[in-house]
Amino acid sequence: MEIHSWSLKELQDHLRKGDLSPREAVEGLDAAVAERDPAVQAYLSRDLESALRLADEADVNLPLGGIPIAIKDVINVEGQPCTCSSKILEGAYLSPYNATAITKLRAAGAIPFGRTNMDEFAMGSSTENSGIQVTHNPWDPERIPGGSSGGSAAAVAADEAFAALGTDTGGSIRQPAALCGCVGLKPTYGRVSRYGLVAFASSLDQIGPITKTIEDSAMLLQAISGADPRDSTCLDKPVPDYTAALGKDLKGVRVGLPREYFAEGIDPQVKSAVEAAIEVLSSLGAEMVELSLPHTEPAIAVYYIIATAEASTNLARFDGVRYGHRTAAAEDLMTHYGRTRAEGFGPEVKRRIILGTYVLSSGYHDEYYLRAQKVRTLIREDFSKAFEKADVLLSPTSPTPAFRIGEKVDDPLQMYLADIFTIAANLAGICAISVPCGFANAESGITLPVGLQLLGPAFGEEALLRVAHAYEQATDWSSKKPPLAPAKSGA
């Protein structure tokens, strides 16, 4: 049985019918990872023994009973490493507790399986900033899988995971999902608890699902959503039945096309894939509405002020005193701090701490940080106005398909531009999803997935899932498998 190629829903059906046991599911997945991951490098570690123990206890009648889920290495799972792909935590930290998203997954019967690679502390768009390893895009091993949740997306795309959790601060679920040909959903800020997620930028971070299908996305979102007394920013709003949003038609649904998101700079093949998707949605009965998000241009600058400011404070806790790497070369307290951090953090993390400290420093605080907060409010208002005219908004997820490993590492500004369409959703706190919408033909005959982004108002996940599902059902993009996930003969 080629069980690893199943979606989460298919695995659930087979487990419930008794075609296989949760133990066999974990073992089958583990075998696929052992075979494929040497080429993909999506996983940093996996604890088969504990996954098998949980599999043996699993109740398959629970919502996700017996289903293994890959976890981005920034979310705490009790007893497991949580490196954030950083030398400052690698080999020096085991989680003493579960993140709330994990507690909820466990309550739904799911099994945390393996830790996936990422950009260090989730800072990046290619997973090349990992302090541990480089992950390869399953569609072309010479290309990046996107980031920062590149390990999670590559694992799902290569059939090395049925589904995965990622995190999204400025696009880190959606962009890698787009570049690997998966579905990635960033929930509304406050939908999913951040307790136990190692903080990058606390006012922007959200945990969310990376999956093979929209239905799987709804199922996983269902399991991790909801209030948490341990995260005061997580809202006490009822969690709807997300799968009930699926299977509805699109008559009367208004899809907004933000003018600024179709400006120059988009790869022509990405553009034509997205335009074709607009045609499909129209043919399904959706009404297209042209509109404007006038404060789109400063969004990247605003993000890189707010995110770095918050990161500089959040990362102050890595001081070699309480946990993580500790320098062997301390002469006094200041050299202890300085050398611990110099040895432990990689170059992008250092760049952001320096930038963030600068924008918060006295004399510059008002000019940068405060001003960025004001523009953030304008960006949020742009979206409120847009959602008076449209139920969801549509854009490309990423302006280009996956780029080559090494292509942008020496040019951080170029790398930052990869997030041009995803960042505003985090600044506004709204929800967004990326859905496969076709392929671009790169030179040398390589095909690379393209992602369509749908944005919804705060707590509008049902509308996103409804539109995304109708689109997915009307198209066939998910049936094509990447070369690094070959279907075995007879599969």
Using the minimum distance from each CB to ligand GLN, give the nearer residue, 318 or 471. 318
CB of 168 to ligand GLN, least distance (A): 5
Look up 172 and say whether it is catalytic: yes
Question: Per the residue annotation, which of 9, 72, 87, 408 is the catalytic one?
Answer: 72
Query: Residues near 400 by Cβ (< 8 Å), separated by ≥ 6?
Result: 266, 267, 270, 418
Q: Which residues contact 77 (CB under 8 A, 6 or more apart)?
A: 71, 95, 98, 99, 102, 112, 115
Nearer to ligand GLN, 127 or 217 (CB): 127
**108 vs 118 by CB, closer to ligand GLN:** 118
CB of 11 to ligand GLN, least distance (A): 28
Closest CA to 117 of 168, 174, 74: 74
- Cα 285-291-292 angle, rounded to 5 deg: 150
Phi and psi based region of residue 41 (left: phi greater than 0; alpha: psi -120 to 50; beta: remaining): left
For the bound state, the minimum distance from the C-beta of residue 1 to ligand GLN, rounded and expressed in Å, comes to 36
Q: How far is the CB of 33 from ligand GLN (least distance, A)?
A: 24
Is residue 186 flagged as an active site residue?
no
Least distance to ligand GLN from the beta carbon of 266, Å? 18
Among left, alpha and beta (phi > 0; psi -120 to 50; other), residue 425 is: alpha
Query: Which of 130, 172, 217, 395 is labelled catalytic?
Result: 172
Q: Cβ distance 291 to 257 under 8 Å? A: yes
Residues 6 or more apart whose Cβ sits within 8 Å of residue 381: none
Given the complex with ligand GLN, which of 415 and 454 has the nearer CB atom? 415
Residue 225, strand partner residues? 192
CB of 174 to ligand GLN, least distance (A): 9
Cβ of residue 442: shortest distance to ligand GLN, in angstroms? 22
Nearer to ligand GLN, 125 or 211 (CB): 125
| Rg, C-alpha atoms of the chain | 21
CA distance 317 to 159: 36
DSSP for 342-368, written as a single string: HHHS-HHHHHHHHHHHHHHSTTTIIII
Identity at 89, one-letter amino acid code: L
Q: Which is nearer to ligand GLN, 261 or 421 (CB)?
A: 421
Residue (103 or 125) nearer to ligand GLN, CB: 125
Q: Is 407 helix (H, G, I), strand (E, B) or coil?
A: coil
**Alpha-carbon distance values, 325 to 89, 119, 131, 320 (Å):** 6, 18, 13, 6
Q: Smallest distance, Å, CB 480 to ligand GLN?
A: 26
d(CA 349, CA 49): 33
For 160, the 3-state DSSP assignment is: coil
d(Cα 267, Cα 113) in Å, to the nearest integer?
A: 36
Interface residues with ligand GLN (CB under 6 A) are 122-125, 148, 168-172, 200, 307, 419
* Active-site annotation holder among 85, 126, 148, 398: 148
Catalytic residue at 148? yes
- Residue 4 or 186 having the CB closest to ligand GLN: 186
What single-letter DSSP state applies at residue 404? B
Q: What whole-number distance in Å separates Cα of residue 262 and Cα of residue 337?
A: 46
Query: Catalytic site residues?
Result: 72, 148, 172
